[in-house]
Amino acid sequence: GAVVSQHPSRVICKSGTSVKIECRSLDFQATTMFWYRQFPKQSLMLMATSNEGSKATYEQGVEKDKFLINHASLTLSTLTVTSAHPEDSSFYICSASEAGFPGGQPQHFGDGTRLSIL
Amino acid sequence: SQKIEQNSEALNIQEGKTATLTCNYTNYSPAYLQWYRQDPGRGPVFLLLIRENEKEKRKERLKVTFDTTLKQSLFHITASQPADSATYLCALDGTGGFKTIFGAGTRLFVKA
């Protein structure tokens, strides 16, 4: 089955640090990747849609200068939380859809990154 | 705007029984509806996808129904096992670049 690898799984750092999270599709090409944020007992909140070779599309209310997304290849997208503050602490999850799959596309998720800003 | 409702209260059932989870939605007619399983501290795992023209879909012990008139999907796990304990998310999906929208999930506990 399609596998998405996300690293790191956990980050604890001081306020003001920038943190980079990687999301890789291991056995398929992903023209589109998605970045979500999840709070306890709440639904996945889509932050942005990452498209290979073009700029990411950010959801309303998500600061693109705060959450930098790069999708440089068909297998790798990165999310950088710049100058992170305690309010950025959350569970960040990426997902990818297989390129060329017709119709509704199941999303394959990474295992998430628990970000804690002190 | 589109809205998905899943029972926020946890569902507790005895091993061997059938678990039934409900997903209701409003203000949209999705082309697809998906179900995912999420374990604590992990990303969701895709389980089943059902199309708007399908009434029912099965996969091993799982069964999903899709009633576009009631705007509801039911997710059944038959012969439930403690290992089925997890949070189950439903998601609305469409075509033409429509982004997938997830419900908050229902927590299922299966007691041995």
**Model pLDDT for residues A82-113, shown as the tens digit of each residue:** 999 999 999 999 999 876 555 677 889 999 99
- Residue B37's pLDDT is 97
DSSP B42-97: S--EEEEEEETT-SEEEETTEEEEEETTTTEEEEEESS--GGG-EEEEEEEE-STT
Q: Which of B28, B46, B64 is most worth mutating to test chain A (most A CB atoms within 10 A of its CB)?
A: B46
The answer to whether B73 contacts chain A (CB < 8 Å) is no
CB contact under 8 A, B51 and A104: yes
The pLDDT of residue B71 is: 94
pLDDT of A33 > 70? The answer is yes
Hey, which residues 50-89 in chain A have their CB within 8 Å of chain B? Answer: none
Average pLDDT along chain B: 92
Chain B contact for A106, CB < 8 A? yes
Write out pLDDT tens, residues B12-45: 999 999 999 999 999 888 889 999 999 999 999 9
pLDDT above 80 for B97:
no
pLDDT for position B2:
75
Q: Is B104 in contact with A43 (Cβ distance < 8 A)?
A: yes
- Contact flag A106-B46 (C-beta cutoff 8 Å): yes
How many angstroms separate the CA atoms of B51 and B39, rounded? Answer: 25
Q: At residue B93, does pLDDT exceed 90?
A: no
Name residue B65's amino acid: T
pLDDT computed for residue A102 by the predictor = 53
Distance from CA of B54 to the nearest CA of A (A): 13
A40 CA to chain B: closest CA distance, Å? Answer: 10
Dist. CA A37–CA B42, nearest whole Å? 13
Task: Name chain B contacts of A34, Cβ cutoff 8 Å.
Answer: 99-100
CB spacing of B34 vs A106 below 8 angstroms: yes
Looking at the predicted structure, is the pLDDT value of residue B67 above 80? yes
**Residue B47 or B1, more confident:** B47
A17, amino acid identity: T
pLDDT at B25: 94
Q: Name the percent of chain B lying above pLDDT 70.
A: 96
User: Which pair of tokens denotes residue A45?
Assistant: 């909140």
Q: Compute the distance between CA of residue B89 and CA of residue A49 in angstroms, rounded to an integer.
A: 20
- The share of chain A scoring above pLDDT 90, in percent, equals 70
Considering only CB atoms, which chain A residues are within 8 Å of B105? Answer: 43
Average pLDDT rounded to a whole number, residues A3-14:
96
CB nearest to B105's CB, from A43, A46, A107: A43
Residues of chain B with Cβ-Cβ distance to A93 below 8 Å are: 43-44
B73 pLDDT higher than 60:
yes
